[in-house]
Amino acid sequence: MAGTGFLGIIVVGLLVFIGSTHAQLQMNFYANSCPKAEKIVQDYVKEHIPNAPSLAASFIRMHFHDCFVRGCDASVLLNSTSGQSPEKNAIPNQTLRGFDFIDRVKSLLEAECPGIVSCADVLTLIARDSVVTIGGPFWKVPTGRRDGVISNVTEANTNIPGPTSNFTTLLKLFSNQGLDSKDLVLLSGAHTIGLAHCPSFSSRLYNSTGPGGVDPTLDSEYAANLKANKCKTPNDNTTKVEMDPGSRNTFDLSYYTLLTKRRGLFQSDAALTTNSTSSALINQLLSNPLKFFYAEFAKSMEKMGRVNVKTGSEGEIRKRCAVVNS
């Protein structure tokens, strides 16, 4: 009995330890140390995103890419550290933009409360507030993240799901972060906004197994249109294409509708229809009101925003988001 009691203490202690990794993320973490912090972020976003709504997609993508490498610690914002090539240089991150926007918000926060608000929280809040500003879903953002001091290009290339990934690969990369197939489908729904560059999907138009090199899982009419009017050559590296044609700045369900019509732009989009569980969720989303998608998407965003966060004395609070403190 004594041994059982001792084991119970160990188990309870372990659970407390595990829980503590998230315990220091809390709503209004800066209420006392920098009470205006979240309003400063929100006001700047509300002022500027209406003039550049496509940045909403950029920030949610940046947040996603950040969390998949060493957790949500703003390592994606760093320039070279210790002579090491940073995450910014990774193939999936070479088309990220909005770093200067984040720097401007951070400078406002530093002027208000020097050394208090982390870049990791700034990025997480900007991602949420920019999506809300274009009319998309709201989700809770508990704060208290701290900033990482390591940024590695290889880790980013390895851990960030790519546009050519199949379902098995996607699920493995999500599972590595504690996310499941439901999160995979819901977070992919962010492809309802934003643009893609031709290289991320041109292999489906020119180097696949169907007639003319077209991927047979891609709707032939859609493929023909893309080849004739968008990515006119296999080597086009500059043209941008709407991921959700006709409503790229509207956070809606049309992305999922396109998937059912074999018009998902990426191979990774089409992959969501190759699994019975993910296909069932897509159909469930399409058979319910938009608010159902918003509520489910919010849950997955909140879950992702907690991935491997640094809290307490881990990491640091960077003074400038692109460089570690000296």
pLDDT value at 8 more than 60: no
Q: What are the phi and psi torsion angles at 81 (to 5°)? A: -120, 130
- Of 23-27, 37-41, 298-302, 308-312, the poorest mean pLDDT is in 23-27
Q: Residue 24 pLDDT more than 90?
A: no
Distance of CA 133 to the CA centre of its chain: 17
45-52 contacts at long range (C-beta below 8 A, 24 or more positions apart): 45/105, 45/126, 45/129, 45/130, 45/133, 46/129, 46/133, 48/101, 49/129, 49/130, 49/133, 49/134, 50/133, 50/134
Contact call for residues 95 and 58 (beta carbons, < 8 A): no
Structure tokens at 23: 């315990």
Q: Quick one: tokens of 87?
A: 């995450």
Please list the active-site residues.
Answer: 65
pLDDT by residue (tens digit) across 165-212?
Answer: 999 999 999 999 999 999 999 999 999 999 999 999 999 999 888 888
For 20, the token pair is: 């503590």
Q: Are 195 and 240 in contact (CB under 8 A)?
A: yes
Residue corresponding to tokens 């990491």: 315
pLDDT of the residue at 4: 47
Give which of 182, 156, 193, 194 is closest to 301, Cα–Cα. Answer: 182
For residue 5, name the pLDDT band (cuts at 50, 70, 90): low
Q: How far is CA 300 from CA 104, 183, 189, 296, 297, in A?
A: 28, 5, 11, 7, 5
Contact 231, 241 (CB under 8 A): yes
Residue 320's nearest CA partner among 122, 37, 26 is 122
Q: What is the pLDDT of residues 235-276, one digit of tens each?
A: 999 999 999 998 888 999 999 999 999 999 999 999 999 999
In whole angstroms, give the CA distance from residue 71 to residue 87: 13
Residues whose CB falls within 8 Å of the CB of residue 209, separated by 6 or more in sequence, listed in order:
215, 216
